[in-house]
Structure 1
Amino acid sequence: MDPVTIIGLVQTCYLAGVKVIEICSAWKNAATEVQSRVIAVEACWHKTQLQVKLVGNITSLMGAELSQMMDEILRELFHKLSEAASTLQNVIQRASTSKPNVFRFRFRAKAAWVWEKEALDSVICDLEEWQRRYDPTWFLVIKLASPLVDVELAKAAAAEPKIQGVPTAARNPLALAERVRKVQSPTTEQMKSVFLPSSDMEWMDIPFSEAKGGRRPQEARWYIVDTIEVGEAARVRDVAQDVRVLAAKLAQADPLAFGLLNCKGAIPLRQQPVSQPAAQNAELTAPAPPSRARSRSPGPGQNDYTHFQIIFRIPDGIQLEDLQSLRQLLLNSDAQMSLSRKVHMARELSKAVHYVHTLAFVHKNIRPESVLCCEVPEGTGTRSHSFLVGFDAFRAVDAGSLMGGDMSWAGNVYRHPSRQGADPSQKYKMYHDIYSLGVCLLEIGLWESFVEYEDTQGTGGASRAKFGKTYNDFGAWCQRQKLAPSFDAVATGLKEYLVEQAKTRLAPRMGDRYSQVVAACLTCLDDDNDSFGGPEEQGEGHVAVQFVEVVLKTLDKICV
């Protein structure tokens, strides 16, 4: 794609946006509800023009795939802005051409008020929808390895008024992008500051999740805590380095934009944390007091750590009690979960996986136990959120792999055949995360839990996973297929079984687009997959662009 074309599209979009804002300015003195919507349109456009203008200044840095994606999404923006201008102009003309009848004045005034609100709501919805689709591509652009990106970001951010507080994608996208970019390769100083001193903690289990709620005694604020076990075969120094980098990067995460919780820091531990009993009904327990050696923040070079605790902030407006694991919802929720909520969960989880990869990590543990969901009041209704946690097995994309695994159904059902069992045949890569995502999206679409527990009213710490309906159905399928009684045949058969479920049972429930996304994820490592694939040496950027095209954009096109 010719950079000149993208620059032209940027200018065209800018002019179309200015026209929309000029039309909206006619309603500055309208009723309060109309006026608040005008402000919302202006806020959406302000963020959009900042991001689009910066892209126009660095378009020469983008490769062919990213340029093509940017071309398509800018054309979509121009189309939406043109439609917005036409819709708003029609409302003005409709109100002005109404016949002047004194007896109908009040009716016409009320009708005009309704028309204005509806038109503005439509514009806001379109711009927010476009922004949701654009943000993943925007952060791929921000990640480009060139000093020009830093120069342009600094120039654009300097021209913007300073906003107090932690930058978010909605309030100050340039400041957030600048901070995210600065931690792509964290400095020694940035990584030193992420290790926190250990202290006594109160704990609360989150049912069917390995993450826990934790807080210091006498403190009101709860945090989400992931515990990473170093493992006997792992090199402590390498794990510590990965934890430092992950914590430094996630310290800049915007939870509502990324689907990843913001990280406060990490606590290195020299002994295994005391196992916490189930904390049902908000019962709190305290682990044994820390040893004297753990009372200070360890310095670099100390290599006797056995565990790391990663501390995540719960977003404002959300309480620990609001959070449920996706596994708990699948096991205990009404089977008639709304289609719109399922699609929203799928979008949020897919977005989170994308940003993990954008930050140059593989997650390695994507399953319903690693997803926290909540619904919070917003306006006259509620808004649902999903956050990816469970970083106990993560590593940097380019780091070595220990090639470890296990034989559990609860783990292997989410693993590609090449990663199943105690001795996986392939080194873990981004495509394996995408496969795991596909299994989770299949569960969400069917609204069936592929893993069951002995006590579905218990908690992840108290209940043990067991074979259930899905395992038994798969066993019956294997008998019908007359699979060879070997581990490799059964592992490959499990993938084929899940693909068959996606192609036969999923479409009637979720539609063809959703079914296609799931099938594409489950076959992302197949040689004949037309959606994913290509030379592996193209690297993580190639995978990320494919993921946006195949998964995120398609899910966003689903109308519910």
Structure 2
Amino acid sequence: MEIRETILQIESLWLKIQRQLEFLKEVWSSLDEEYQIHQNTVLQVLHRKAQAAVTLIDSIIGGTRSEDGSSIRSILLKRGESKRAKYAIIVKNNLKSALVDLKEWADTFDVSWFLILRSAGKDIDQQLKPVVLGKMEPLSILKTLREAIASESSSDSQVENTTIFLREDFFLDKYTTLKNSGAEIRLGRGSGEESQYLVDQQSSMSTLSDRCKLAKILRTVDPYSFGILKCEGLVKEPIPGTDLAPTRFAFVIPKSLQQPQLLRTFVMSRSERHPLDDKFELSKQLAKAIMFVHSAGFVHKNIRPETVLLFYPNQPNENSCFAFLIGFESFRLAEGNTVLQGDNIWERNIYRHPTRQGMQPGMDYMMQHDIYSLGVCLLEIGLGESLTLPQAGGQESQPNPLLFTNVDLTMKDRRKKAFQTKRALVLLAQERLPSLMGRKYTEIVVTCLTCLDKTDNLFGDEEDFLDEDGVLVGVRFIEKVKSFIQGEPIMTALADSDRF
């Protein structure tokens, strides 16, 4: 029975993939050449994995082969009782391995498949017309997201009249503050029953129109696929004695998750407590979340361990964690006007590229700046150490001596000190990560940290990542990182420690 169920799971997964591939075929001519080349490489990997699965199923349940040998489509034609196998345990394990392999590929494919969100071809929307909205399947999600991204509000007053705002009595009085993040875990009444919600920090820089637009987009996400909690809506928080009422995002916390903690807590608990595969999976989830934000046409602008929230499943014998990107208070549309406004908080500046530090940053914010921040977070995950050390009693955090042995803290020129800190981060990755996480993970981290360098930039020239349809350079940079190893997606490389 267990063997049969695994075969059915493989079949169900393939049906999902098949629908995506059929859609991809219909809109192929609308996609830019670089995207086509990337997908061709990804699909070659799928062919190998699916053919292996078909061959395995053939050997278990029998059936005639097609003239051209094992084919993906033949999975859908298999029916009947499983053969009695002398090596039933081996068969079961091999099937589960094939299922896991196919799932990993599907997860990776989903990330690059949703880059279609950034394509401007009218053929795409035409092909999506008959798709029914409201289903948690790729085509329905794609249609919903494209419609949300394409929608434009003419004024903030019009936006306020939408149902994106939660009613005043939505939340109960019970809540827990997440230390150092500005976010809260609250109880609320969503669909008639009490549930837990994450209420994010107050949005300070983005416009109300952009906040409503992002909330609408994040209403459609699958948390486990995108690494972002599903948005319930926006909350108005009036400030007593003033006419101000800042808005905050409210996200649904899945009932199957518990024990929320910030990534900061994870990296401060030392690496020996965390298995390698957990660290690779965590890195993969974080990269995937940032990829989705960029695909949806936004930049986050605030990626650091205080804006990554981890949960653990409330299932026995389940120890792996799930990471979700939070802290959307500074985000903006990628095409929107940037605000050259910042601060001198050093523990935040560590996660900012030197050109985006200080009260008046010297460069407009780009998607590559998010990628740089990702690199610093991946460095901490790999090291199993925090670059900032919070102090007891609410005192100011202290720098980790591990980093600042190569930084002159007495240097008065903030810009020079910032670039010296960046060089120290790259050196720390090159010296410490290979023995802890492997050469490939190290290369990924260094690539993120140097993505804005004029020389010795492993991404290559920016011009190589621009295309006619305006698929933004930050998305292409993420994709370049994602497909680093011989055309294999980086998400798979991050999840598979045996390859390092």
What range describes the TM-score normalised by the shorter chain of this pair? 0.7 to 0.9
Structure-2 residue corresponding to 1:141: 116
Structure 1 residues 542 and 383: alpha-carbon distance in aligned structure 2, compared to 1, 3 A threshold: same
1:333 Cα deviation after fit: 5.5
* Contact in 2 for aligned 1:364/1:433 (Cα 8 Å): yes
Question: Map of 1:418-497 to 2, 5 A cutoff?
Answer: 418-455=355-392, 463-468=394-399, 470=400, 472-479=401-408, 485-497=412-424
Structure-2 residue corresponding to 1:363: 300
Q: 2:283 matched to 1:313? A: no
1:329 Cα deviation after fit: 1.8
SS at match of 1:256: helix
Which stretch has the larger CA shift, 425-434 or 140-149? Answer: 140-149
Question: Map of 1:53-452 to 2, 5 A cutoff?
Answer: 53-91=22-60, 109=84, 111-155=86-130, 157=131, 167-168=135-136, 172-186=137-151, 188=153, 192-199=162-169, 201-216=173-188, 220-230=194-204, 239-271=207-239, 305-319=244-258, 322-332=259-269, 335-377=272-314, 381-452=318-389
Please give the alpha-carbon distance, in whole angstroms, between the structure 2 residues aligned to 1:211 and 1:484. 35
Task: Tell me the number of residue pairs that the alignment of Structure 1 and Structure 2 aligns.
Answer: 458
Gaps of 5+ in 1: 1-31, 94-107, 273-290, 294-303, 456-461
Q: 2:495 matched to 1:530? A: no
Structure-1 residue corresponding to 2:493: 557
Structure-2 residue corresponding to 1:17: none
* Contact in 2 for aligned 1:208/1:325 (Cα 8 Å): no
Structure 1 residues 484 and 212: alpha-carbon distance in aligned structure 2, compared to 1, 3 A threshold: closer
What letter is aligned with 2:164? V
1:312 Cα deviation after fit: 0.5
Structure 1 residues 464 and 201: alpha-carbon distance in aligned structure 2, compared to 1, 3 A threshold: farther
Please give the alpha-carbon distance, in whole angstroms, between the structure 2 residues aligned to 1:533 and 1:434. 16
SS at match of 2:289: helix
What letter is aligned with 1:476? T
Structure 1 residues 473 and 116: alpha-carbon distance in aligned structure 2, compared to 1, 3 A threshold: closer
Structure-2 residue corresponding to 1:275: none
Structure 1 residues 245 and 213: alpha-carbon distance in aligned structure 2, compared to 1, 3 A threshold: same
* Contact in 2 for aligned 1:65/1:545 (Cα 8 Å): no
What letter is aligned with 1:65? E
Gaps of 5+ in 2: 63-82, 484-488
1:368 Cα deviation after fit: 0.5
SS at match of 2:462: coil
Structure 1 residues 517 and 38: alpha-carbon distance in aligned structure 2, compared to 1, 3 A threshold: same
Please give the alpha-carbon distance, in whole angstroms, between the structure 1 residues aligned to 2:402 and 2:92. 51
SS at match of 1:183: helix
Q: Which among 420, 439, 447 is matched to residue 520 of structure 1?
A: 447
What letter is aligned with 1:131? A
1:331 Cα deviation after fit: 2.3
* Contact in 2 for aligned 1:366/1:433 (Cα 8 Å): yes
Question: Map of 1:4-19 to 2, 5 A cutoff?
Answer: none
* Contact in 2 for aligned 1:363/1:394 (Cα 8 Å): yes
Structure 1 residues 91 and 440: alpha-carbon distance in aligned structure 2, compared to 1, 3 A threshold: same
Please give the alpha-carbon distance, in whole angstroms, between the structure 1 residues aligned to 2:253 and 2:480. 30
Query: What do the CA deviations read for 1:397-445 (whole angstroms, capped 9, x no partner)?
Result: 1222221111112111000000111111011110000000000000000
Q: TM-score, normalised by structure 2?
A: 0.85
Structure-2 residue corresponding to 1:12: none
1:332 Cα deviation after fit: 3.6
1:193 Cα deviation after fit: 1.9
What letter is aligned with 2:229? L
1:109 Cα deviation after fit: 4.2
What letter is aligned with 1:198? E
* Contact in 2 for aligned 1:331/1:449 (Cα 8 Å): yes
1:384 Cα deviation after fit: 2.4
Please give the alpha-carbon distance, in whole angstroms, between the structure 2 residues aligned to 1:261 and 1:267. 16
SS at match of 1:557: helix
Please give the alpha-carbon distance, in whole angstroms, between the structure 1 residues aligned to 2:384 and 2:424. 17
Please give the alpha-carbon distance, in whole angstroms, between the structure 1 residues aligned to 2:319 and 2:12. 22
